Amino acid sequence: MSDKLIINLCPTGMVPRRAKVPAVPITPEEIARDVRQCYEAGASMVHLHARDDDEEPTWRGERFAEICSAVVEQAPQIVLVVTTSGRNWPELAKRAESLNVSGRAKPEMASLTLGSMNFVSGPSVNAPETISGLAAAMYERDITPELEIFDIGMLDYARFLISRGVLRPPYYLNILFGSIGTAGVSAANAAAALAALPQNSTWAFAGIGRYQLAANTLAMSLGGHVRVGLEDNPYYDWNSRGTTTNVQLVERVVRIARELGREPATPAEAREMIGLKPVERA
């Protein structure tokens, strides 16, 4: 049970569009501004996707470099995480482009989804050789995988990859509940996930759509950490469908956490808890 809470911001994703999610940040400047506001509100990590100005997702390393550079200018201490999502493109080379950002804006972590699944909009295919290839590319660049888990079988696969030396510590796992076709939010699923964690793991719960607040609150109650933001959830309240912003979602998590006796971790504290190297970008 940790008194400090790691808040991992997911501000943009690949799906939200301004027509339905007016506050989703798109340009590097917009993303950086949102990250700074959320950092000041209590976020210690940021999980970054890249969009072109027309809102379409992109794998291009140049765009990731622009976004990462803008973010570290606005929030230099935050833990920087990039996506390697294959939701829109399967090729390993394209998915690894985000790992090539270098210099002051070099990412410390990168997402690694440990299996294939179906989203409402279509499949996300993560073949075994792609998972292993992305992990190897991360370690070559001294980047720690942010393991994304959508079902209990992916936790079993994490332990298998650890036993084969494909994954190595430190282990940070985002367990995402509520996507159609994968694990839902329930006490049974939460207990099964925690029982299957690799030893010496740092873990967080995320909830897709209407399940974000439930998953976040469950994690905070159990001593885990959270992922929150417009990538996963476009509304503050699903009954009214009231629009929201990234900073409002972070502020709500911080308020509930403090009611539970937990304070937001600083980026330095988050790095120590996860097992990352200290970073000084100022």
The pLDDT of residue 282 is 67
Backbone angles phi, psi at 111, to 5 degrees: -70, 145
Structural domains of the chain, count:
1
Flag whether 209 is in a domain.
yes
Task: Report d(CA 42, CA 25) in Å as an integer.
Answer: 19
Q: Is residue 219 domain-resident?
A: yes
Q: Is residue 152 part of a domain?
A: yes
**Predicted TM-score (pTM) of this structure:** 0.97
Residue 25 lies in a domain: yes
281 part of a folded domain: no
The domain in which residue 40 lies consists of 4-274
Q: Classify strands 242-243 and 171-177 as parallel, antiparallel or unpaired.
A: unpaired
Query: For position 281, what pLDDT does the model report?
Result: 82
Instruction: Answer yes or no: is 279 within a domain.
Output: no
Tell whether 280 is covered by a domain.
no
Domain of residue 55, CATH code: 3.20.20.70
List per-block mean pLDDT (blocks of 10 residues) for the chain, which spans 282 residues. 91 96 98 98 98 96 98 97 92 97 97 92 90 98 98 97 98 96 94 97 97 98 97 95 96 98 98 95 74
Q: Is residue 108 part of a domain?
A: yes
Give one DSSP letter per residue of 138-204, joined into a string. Answer: HHHTT-EEEEEESSHHHHHHHHHHHHTTSS-SSEEEEEEE--TTSPPS-HHHHHHHHHTPPTTEEEE
- pLDDT tens for 221-249 read 999 999 999 999 999 999 999 999 999 99
Residues written for the chain:
282
